[in-house]
Amino acid sequence: MALRFLPVTAAILSVLASTVTEQTVFTAPPIPATNSTQNFAPVGTLDVLSNTVFTTLLHPEFSNYGVRIKKSNFCDEGVGAYTGYIDIQARHLFFYFFESRSNPDKDDVVLWTNGGPGCSSGIGLLMELGPCRVVKAENGTVHHPESWNSNQNIFFIDQPIGVGFSYAEYGESVSTTEEAAQDIAAFVAIFFAHFTKFQGRGFHLSGESYGGRYLPVFAAAVYDQNPRLVKAGIPPINLTSVIIGNGMTDAVRMMPAWYEQQCSSATLPPVQDIQTCVQMKMRMSRCTKWLKESCQDTFDFINCAAAFAFCEEITLIPYMATGLNRYDISKSCEQTSSRLCYDEIDEIVKYLNQKDVQELLGVEVSQYNSCSEKVGIDFSLTLDMYVGSTEYIAGLLERDVRVLIYAGTYDFVCNWVGNEAWTLALEWTGHAEFSSQPLREWTVDGKRAGKTRSAKGLTFATVDAAGHMVPYDKPKESLQMVNRWIAGEPL
């Protein structure tokens, strides 16, 4: 989880108008490649890691980065479990790593990130697809049989800086996806360089919600970094696919979908009253026209922000007034302190704030929060979400990196209608073949699980009766889907 969706209020627009006139895109400074392997000795195996102290991984090609890692015996005692920090000078990103329950010496490697922007992947780990779940904090964790590490080695990362157990020593922050991508790419390179048994394995970037913006950019950074690795004598990363669940990849196309999901029978009978839907429909043409002109045809920073503020006012605010869960239109929102509509998230926060748990993990901050309001605001102020990541998706597909876009049909905020719309509109050489494919049913144990279409490495799939967090609502279907995808089998 979760796209918390901080609306672009008048106050934020005022700040934007006074401080920024155009979008700032971060570009990492070029670093000369060196023959790094001459003075580099990999750790080689996870078996040498300690249960009590961190082992530090360095590489001369990434002089500003280090990775600290230790065994943790956390969550899934039947497999190798590890925790650590990615150190970028005074910035520190926390991660968990679990080996596969099946064949850790041969299975692929998956990295998972939650969204927000600013939400911790501890939610994905302990509520959705991780090896264990937390139902009540005082009872600890319970085994999760449908964890994605059933057949894959998997990372969960608290990113960007300021999320979950990640922190900065002097208040440093990251406010664009392009900045955050450089840290992920460097981490992946260092980890694979040190733990040689993973070299050449299929590597998959996965996540949900704002991950729809993050992951295509992260994948591009990993892919584009490979020539540098080869020049430095480091084996390249075998980037195989990107897996996005209920993603916010193309925010411009999501606005009309907010109307469809609450006012039509796209999934369930309309949840909004007729009068509100009529008023919304009358204003939608202005919304879509303004978005296209200011955010797609050209990126006019101030006008794009104003367009989104208008569209949010006519679509998101009326939905929130219904009291329905924005992550599942079939339910009311549970009044939790996390404001994310699920009591389980509050229990995860309580659990990860227990001192014995924090000592086991080796974390260096004493307060865990599921989502960071500051990170969300920082990203809002750069309009990071409104840039979109569809061009990155197209670029990856042209380079034979497969992409799976899946969506639970009950989600509102990053719903299947909007995700299908942008996949059908995506401009790439496989467009005609993909868009001409009809939706077909896919099944699990002989029962319909959803609908899908696929061509030229791109797959779109729905998961019936699942909300924003598909692995939480439909764990068996979710695991079957990802296992088939990673094995290269059709859904």
Residue 223 has pLDDT above 80, yes or no: yes
- Interatomic CA distance for residues 43 and 194, integer angstroms: 5
Rounded to whole angstroms, the Cα distance separating 119 from 116 reads: 5
**Cα dist. 439→41, 132, 484 in Å?**
51, 34, 18
Asked if residue 24 has pLDDT above 70, the reply is no
Average pLDDT over residues 12-28: 43
DSSP 418-453: HHHHHHHH--STTHHHHHTSPPEEEEETTEEEEEEE
Report the pLDDT averaged over residues 110-134: 97
Q: What is the pTM of this model?
A: 0.93
Is 209 annotated in the active site?
yes
What average pLDDT does the structure give for the chain? 91
Percent of the chain topping pLDDT 70: 91
DSSP three-state, residue 312:
helix
Q: Are 36 and 19 in contact (CB under 8 A)?
A: no
pLDDT tens profile 249-298: 999 999 899 999 999 999 999 999 999 999 999 999 999 999 999 998 99
Does residue 4 surpass a pLDDT of 90? no
The predicted structure's pLDDT at residue 336: 64
- Nearest-angstrom CA–CA distance, 187 and 311: 38
pLDDT of residue 120: 97
Q: Pick the catalytic residue from 87, 158, 411, 473.
A: 411
pLDDT at 335: 67
Look at residue 18 in the predicted model and tell me its pLDDT.
Answer: 47
Which pLDDT tens digit goes with each residue over 284-340? 999 999 999 999 899 999 999 999 999 999 999 999 999 999 999 999 987 665 668
pLDDT in tens, 154-178: 999 999 999 999 999 998 999 999 9
Indicate the pairing of strand 402-408 with strand 239-247.
Answer: parallel
Query: Rounded to the nearest 5°, which phi and psi values hold at 187?
Result: -60, -50
Phi, psi of 6 (to 5 degrees): -85, 110
Residue 20 scores a pLDDT above 80: no
Question: Which entry of 120, 384, 468, 478 is annotated as an active-site residue?
Answer: 468
Q: Which of 121, 166, 209, 294 is catalytic?
A: 209
pLDDT value for 340: 83
Q: What are phi and psi of 197, to 5 degrees?
A: -65, -20
Told to judge if 264 belongs to the known catalytic residues of this protein, a careful annotator would answer no
Query: Catalytic annotation on 378?
Result: no
**What is the identity of the amino acid at 90?**
A
The answer to whether the CB of 256 falls within 8 A of the CB of 418 is: yes
